[in-house]
Amino acid sequence: MKVVPSRLSEWVRPVTLQQPACAIIEIERVSQVFQTSARKDHLALSDISLTIDEGAFVSILGPSGCGKSTLLYIVGGFVNPSSGAAKMKGQAITGPGPDRGPVFQEFALFPWKTVLGNVMYGPRQQGVRTNEAEAQSRALIEMVGLKGYENFYPKELSGGMKQRVALARTLAYHPEVLLMDEPFGALDAHTRTRLQNDLLNIWERDRKTVLFVTHSVDEAVFLSDKVVMMSKSPGRIRQVIDIDLPRPRRRNELLLDPRYQKYVVDIERMFDESDEAGSPS
């Protein structure tokens, strides 16, 4: 005698969806309107939809004023979108939280705290015991290459060192997503290169999801799995390009790699075309 299930639900067992690459951040039809001084509305972001997979290094690339930082602030929960929604692991983002750690171009370190104090701040806030937080923070400071500078104040450090501290401070509270807002934009070319290399080394250890805003094509291609190209007025996604280059990436090899060069040239050409098409003057 065959036992036939009486109800459909007994046939279809609930299956947990396990995709190989799971979306961690979903941006759904986000628009952002700012009011300019002349009471005119300025559409900074127009109808942006984007999905970011867990563990991916995604760059948002575009000219200044295309709203790329605003998009990052919306994901961070620092700015509320005028319409649409951003979600983190399926939950609507309503404000900042320790699951999303920002690193800003301006460093935004706490100047009254030493390097160690800055890095310990997040873990202490999360309730980690002082001894433990200090041990972890010292290890992180060493990892970003600042061993020996634990008791220095931010004012005593160069720009590159400050950004290293800022990175360590954010990593210290274990965010699931790093939100990097033109982090190397204020640094000189040499320092910038060193920090890019070091960021990649650190990232390749634990492959956190990174959302990285930049206006540098080389930087975006060098670092990312995926480059989101944006155009301005209004800020829109122009194209999303997968960067299919092997990892771990070494700068001296990559710069000579024709595939890398092609990505850079192609992306630059696309921006040039849009400039010509988009500028009436």
Partner 1 sequence: MISSTTMAKRAAPALACIGLLAVWQVASLVLKSDSFPTAIEAIRAIPDILGDRESLINILASLRRMAIGFSIAVLVSMPLGLLMGRSRAVAAFFNPLLMVIYPVPKAALMPIIMLWLGVGDITKTLVIFLGVSLPVIYHSFEGAKAVEEKMLWSGAAMGLSPLQRLVRIVLPAALPEILTGCRTGLVLALITMITSEMIARQSGAGNILFNALDMGQYDTVYAMIIIVGAMGICLDAVFERVRARLVRWSEPQFDLPLSFS
The least distance separating partner 1 from the CB of residue 172, rounded to whole angstroms, comes to: 9
**Token pair for 119:** 């890095």
Binding site for partner 1 (CB under 8 A): 73, 76-78, 95-98, 100-102, 104, 106, 108-113, 121-122, 125-126, 152-161, 169-170, 173, 175, 187-188, 190-191, 194-195
Q: Which is nearer to partner 1, 60 or 109 (CB)?
A: 109
In the complex, what is the shortest distance from the CB of residue 254 to partner 1, in angstroms, rounded to a whole number? 20
Provide the greatest CA pair distance for the chain. 83
CA atoms within 13 A on the CB side of 274: 19
How many of the other CB atoms lie within 10 Å of CB of 39? Answer: 6
Q: Structure tokens of 250?
A: 């070494």
Neighbours of 130 (CB within 10 A): 10
Closer to partner 1 at the Cβ: 67 or 76?
A: 76
**Least distance in Å: CB of 104 to partner 1?**
5
Task: Output 175 or 235, the one with its CB closest to partner 1.
Answer: 175
The residue (of 126 and 201) whose beta carbon lies closer to partner 1 is 126
Q: What's the closest the beta carbon of residue 178 comes to partner 1, in angstroms?
A: 11
Tell me the closest approach of the beta carbon of residue 173 to partner 1, in angstroms.
Answer: 6
Q: Distances in Å between the alpha carbon of 45 and those of 42, 55, 170, 178, 229? A: 9, 25, 27, 21, 13
- Cis peptide leading into 81, omega within 30 of 0? no
